[in-house]
């Protein structure tokens, strides 16, 4: 199983940005945790991060025929990007949206997710573990 993990804007600032919400672990720590869990479940994973919407759209489009599923944390683009939604719909790969914080307990605007409309599930508020759970869920979806 090959999974593309896409992270949106400011995820590269983990450990610095609002540590009371996102914790002190860094983006490198997140990638290491994802890679370690992928190895444990026998998945191949590629992690990418961008602060640019078009680059995220391109990665999603390029996933078609290469990856079996997508784990995506669109970050701030969650609440604004019809382009990411359309890319996910276009490739029609199983996708799961992940958020490190519990977006449902934060500002009201964070409760709106465009990409979620093309995802099988949204996992929020579980920290880095949310990515691991998403990979396991994708494995169940892909194996059936």
Residue 113 · residue 91 · CB < 8 Å: no
- Active-site entry in 22, 67, 114, 131: 22
What does the pLDDT read at residue 99? 95
Statement: 2-143 belongs to CATH 3.40.50.970: no
Burial class of residue 69 in the structure, from the number of CB atoms within 10 Å of its CB (0-12 exposed, 13-18 middle, 19+ buried): buried
Total-model pTM: 0.94
Cβ atoms within 10 A of the Cβ of 37, count? 19
Distance (Å, rounded) from C-alpha 133 to C-alpha 13?
Answer: 22
Task: For residue 135, give the nearest of 20, 15, 47, 27 by alpha carbon.
Answer: 47
Put residue 42 in one of left, alpha, beta given phi > 0 → left and psi -120 to 50 → alpha: left
Residue ranges of the domains in the chain? Answer: 2-143
pLDDT of residue 18: 82
User: Which listed residue (37, 67, 99, 131) is catalytic?
Assistant: 99
Residue entry with tokens 């026998």: 42
Residue 141 has what pLDDT? 96
Whether 52 is catalytic: no
State the residue for tokens 């719909």: 89
Q: What is the pLDDT of residue 37?
A: 98
Flag residues of the chain having pLDDT under 70. Answer: 110
Fill in the DSSP letter of residue 117. Answer: G
99 as an active site residue: the answer is: yes
Our CA angle for 43, 58, 46, nearest 5°, is: 20
């Amino acid at each position: 199983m090959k999974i593309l993990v896409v992270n949106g804007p400011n995820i590269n600032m983990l450990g610095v940005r609002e540590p009371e919400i996102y914790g002190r672990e860094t983006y490198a720590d997140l990638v290491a945790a994802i890679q370690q869990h992928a190895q444990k479940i026998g998945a191949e994973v590629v992690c990418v991060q961008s602060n640019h919407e078009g680059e995220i759209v391109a990665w999603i489009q390029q996933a078609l025929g290469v990856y079996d599923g997508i784990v995506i944390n669109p970050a701030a683009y969650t609440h604004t990007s019809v382009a990411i939604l359309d890319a996910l719909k276009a490739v029609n790969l199983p996708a799961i949206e992940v958020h490190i914080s519990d977006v449902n307990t934060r500002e009201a605007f964070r409760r709106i997710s465009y990409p979620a409309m093309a995802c099988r599930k949204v996992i929020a508020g579980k920290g880095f573990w949310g990515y691991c759970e998403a990979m396991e869920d994708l494995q169940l979806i892909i194996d059936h």
